[in-house]
Structure 1
Amino acid sequence: MIDSLRKKARIVFRRMRVGANLHRNDALGALHRAWGYVHATQLAGDYYEFGVHGGWSMVNSWFSYRYFRRRLAQGRALPFQRRGTVAAFLAHRPLFHGFDTFAGMPDNDEGEDTLAPGSFWCDLDIVTGDCARAGLRSPELRLVPGLFADTAAQVGLRPAAIVHLDCDLYASTRDALRAVSPCLVQGTVVLCDDYNLFRADQGRGQRRAVAEFSAVGGIRLEPWFAYGPAAQAFLCHVDHPEGG
């Protein structure tokens, strides 16, 4: 009972402060800024999160999406009509996809106690319930349990507006990028929450995975802004074949 009341209070608090998140320099501020960019550029696409843990970044992403959508759809101060490209953008309702083992960190050789197998464990049913309390539920919400390499086929092909990589490990980030690659479009936001872990070592963690992904060609990740203690946002540039 007490735990339920605490969660309700937490959701109310997050809903109330969402409008101020743009000025934050943490993951919540990054998500808010990303959704602001998506609406400013009318980038129709879904939200993909790899590494859900307790689901609170998913909840905050949902609140930020709703904040900017309402502002674009109903804001009287905006000096344009809601037709044409704006109407087409508003007609798109993004899905929120969450991928996680829901059993904690997988086996890894990163050698960090904070990333030991089983750490960051979360319960799928609890996350589903907490998201529902915030108003985010099926069919808008898809939570997919399992290793990213094993659930890659369930990512699908829906275009991505925002990809949030909160998965720390080199192998997990590599597998997530491979899985979501077909969904990336020009301008997709990629948030790497753990980009500068391991003292920004280029040969470890998310830095290594991003470098290898970029080296393949076809999609270039342009650094956008840094946030939090060790995170980096990117914008996707998709190469077009000659004559395409």
Structure 2
Amino acid sequence: MTFKKRLPGLVKGAFFGLRLHVLFHPFAHLYIWIGNISRLSKWIRQQDNLLINDCYTSKFEYTKRFELYEVVIKDQQLDEAIDYLEFGVSKGTSMQWWINRNKHPETVFYGFDTFTGLPEDWGPFKKGDMSANNAIPDFNDPRCQFYQGLFQQTLGKFLAEGKLSNRKKVIHLDADLYTSTLFVLATLYPYLNKGDILFFDEFNCPTHEYLAFDEFCRSFYVEYKTLGAVNNFYQVAVMIK
């Protein structure tokens, strides 16, 4: 066996036998972050022919996400009847935008959120931050339904109700967290069809939404097309192929 093939085993033996985790574990998150920001940067440079792309810009404008929505709506004809699912509703700003934009009477809107804030720490934000004070938005639109609780508690029950149709789905992922995003993507995988649209609201966080999407695509062999991005790929739209 060549030294190259033996090297992984030798490294493992050194870690296990000498307990090298004592030296390296305090920096483990940094190593992971650097590795994933490198992969994300490479992925960004591979994206071309997008409908909208402002990378690289030094100015972050959160309202640009509405420009992204509008461009994708026109390109993908999303004025028609769709099933819209939003994960991470909070106070309902983006969901309200979609309700106002798509007036088709057969469109349905499903919102999922704890409405009590993040279920775990996320970067500088702590568990419970970004709370909507347990208040579910009232859009006064009969097309809307809300599911309060952790996605791990509510999504399976929702899918068991059989409410999803075979028409085009728009899935808005504003869950922020790696765990929440990966759970939603993996759970919805059997229900995704060619042409369905995924929007991400914090995609360029290398150890959260980006990592969840990357691992989802590699694990399930998902093929997709990137449609557009704004704020240096902070908000991203992709289409299932």
AA aligned opposite 1:158: S
Q: Structure 1 residue 41: deviation in Å?
A: 9.3
TM (norm. structure 2) is 0.65
Q: Name which structure has the greater RCO, CA cutoff 8 Å, separation 6+.
A: 2
Give, in whole Å, the separation in 2 of the partners of 1:53 and 1:144: 12
Q: Which deviates more, 207-216 or 180-189?
A: 180-189
Contact 1:35 1:65 (8 Å CA) reproduced: no
AA aligned opposite 1:195: F
Give, in whole Å, the separation in 2 of the partners of 1:121 and 1:175: 21
In the alignment, which of 187, 193, 198 is matched to residue 195 of structure 2?
187
RMSD: 2.4
Alignment of 1:33 with 2:43, yes or no, is no
Which blocks of at least 5 consecutive residues in structure 1 are unaligned? 1-23, 70-91, 238-244
Which blocks of at least 5 consecutive residues in structure 2 are unaligned? 1-60
- Partner residue in 1 for 2:231: 228
Runs of 4+ in 1 over 6 A off after TM superposition: none
Give, in whole Å, the separation in 2 of the partners of 1:40 and 1:56: 19
- Partner residue in 2 for 1:101: 114
In the alignment, which of 209, 212, 217 is matched to residue 214 of structure 1?
217
Q: Structure 1 residue 218: deviation in Å?
A: 5.0
- Partner residue in 1 for 2:101: 64
Give, in whole Å, the separation in 2 of the partners of 1:40 and 1:214: 24
Contact 1:158 1:183 (8 Å CA) reproduced: no
Alignment of 1:116 with 2:126, yes or no, is yes
Q: Which deviates more, 28-37 or 47-56?
A: 28-37
Give, in whole Å, the separation in 2 of the partners of 1:58 and 1:149: 21
Give, in whole Å, the separation in 2 of the partners of 1:151 and 1:126: 15
Instruction: Note the 1:116-135 alignment, pairs <5 A.
Output: 116-123=126-133, 125-128=135-138, 131-132=139-140
Over residues 153-193 of structure 1, what are the superposed CA-to-partner deviations in whole Å (9 max), with x where a residue is unaligned? 23424345211101111001111212322332111110111
Contact 1:48 1:97 (8 Å CA) reproduced: yes
Aligned length: 174
In the alignment, which of 172, 175, 178 is matched to residue 170 of structure 1?
178
State the SS of the aligned residue for 1:151: helix
Q: Structure 1 residue 28: deviation in Å?
A: 1.7
AA aligned opposite 1:235: M
AA aligned opposite 1:106: P
State the SS of the aligned residue for 2:120: coil
Identity between Structure 1 and Structure 2 (%): 25
State the SS of the aligned residue for 1:121: coil
Alignment of 1:50 with 2:63, yes or no, is no
Contact 1:35 1:64 (8 Å CA) reproduced: no
Contact 2:72 2:227 (8 Å CA) reproduced: no
